[in-house]
Amino acid sequence: MANRQLIQQLKLQGISHPGVLRAIEKVPREKFVLPKLKQRAYENVALPIDKDQTISQPYVVALMTQALIDHPNPRKILEIGTGSGYQAAVLGTLFPEIWTIERIEVLYHKAKKLLYELGFSNVHCRLGDGVKGYVDEAPFDGILVTAATPTLPLALLEQLHPQGGRLVIPLGPTHQVQELTLIIRQEDKFEETILEQVCFVPLIPDHH
Ligand code: SAM
């Protein structure tokens, strides 16, 4: 499948924001998949990467990205789970400043190098435990968690911008189906909406 066909499929699945569709069209997913899977880069499926992790399904990347857009003026985004760097690249195409955290060192180095080579100077990679968020740069207009957790990491709620900050996170049992949940903060109130059923690899705290 070509990128153009992928875009058509995403539209049929309800991805309607032109900026999100343009960002997916622009980011060369073939650079983020394993070389032996290049032929399958524009299939609308998650694919394996190194260290038993995955590059997310384009539909889920688009949906999570679209969920951030209604914030009045998203500028600063945090992603937990850099993986291949693909979601970070899509975010970097749309928003001014991205921080992305990965706990596995080889994945961190690989994604950092690739994002640099592709010119994403607004995407900042960090090695560490994303469960703690990234307090140095908080608050964030949007936080995306691209790994599953049964419980909401409180640090992430605290690091959301108090006026309309948005957290998108797969909540539920790991290695099964989770609910992709959008949480919007207004001061001390957190409004929750379930967006989709998804299946992510687990979010693992560093002391694990
Ligand atoms: N966003 C990625 C992409 O576009 O390729 C896909 C991410 S993959 C589904 C989940 C990633 O989360 C893995 O690379 C995994 O190592 C990472 N991860 C798991 N627990 C983490 C943690 N506590 N902190 C940071 N990264 C974590």
Catalytic residues: 56
Give the sheet arrangement for strand 163-171, strand by strand: 123-127, 97-102, 76-80, 142-145, 163-171, 178-186, 189-198
Q: What's the pLDDT score for residue 208?
A: 57
pLDDT digits (tens, 9 = 90+) for 73-102: 899 999 999 999 999 999 999 999 999 999
pLDDT digits (tens, 9 = 90+) for 110-144: 999 999 999 999 999 999 999 999 999 999 999 99
- For ligand 1, the distance from its centroid to the CA atom of residue 6, given in whole angstroms, is 23
91 lines ligand 1 (CB under 6 A): no
87 lines ligand 1 (CB under 6 A): yes
Pocket test for ligand 1, best of 68, 77, 104 (most atoms within 8 A of CB): 104
Structure tokens at 200: 């992510």
Q: What's the pLDDT score for residue 2?
A: 77
Question: Hey, where are the domains in the chain?
Answer: 60-198
**Mean confidence (pLDDT) of the chain:** 96
53 lines ligand 1 (CB under 6 A): yes
101 lines ligand 1 (CB under 6 A): yes
6, 78, 91, 131 from 144: Cα distances, Å: 22, 6, 10, 11
Q: What's the pLDDT score for residue 59?
A: 98
In sequence order, the 6+-apart residues with CB closer than 8 A to the CB of 67 are: 166, 168, 182, 195
Q: Is the pLDDT of residue 205 over 90?
A: no
Q: What's the pLDDT score for residue 116?
A: 98
Tell me the whole-structure pTM to 2 decimals.
0.97
Pocket test for ligand 1, best of 82, 100, 156, 168 (most atoms within 8 A of CB): 82
Q: What's the pLDDT score for residue 41?
A: 97
Q: What's the pLDDT score for residue 34?
A: 98
Q: Find, among 201, 203, 167, the residue nearest to 77 by Cα.
A: 167
* DSSP 3-state of 141: coil
- For ligand 1, the distance from its centroid to the CA atom of residue 145, given in whole angstroms, is 8
Report, at the CATH architecture level, how domain 60-198 is classified: 3-Layer(aba) Sandwich (3.40)
Q: What's the pLDDT score for residue 1?
A: 63
Q: What's the pLDDT score for residue 142?
A: 98
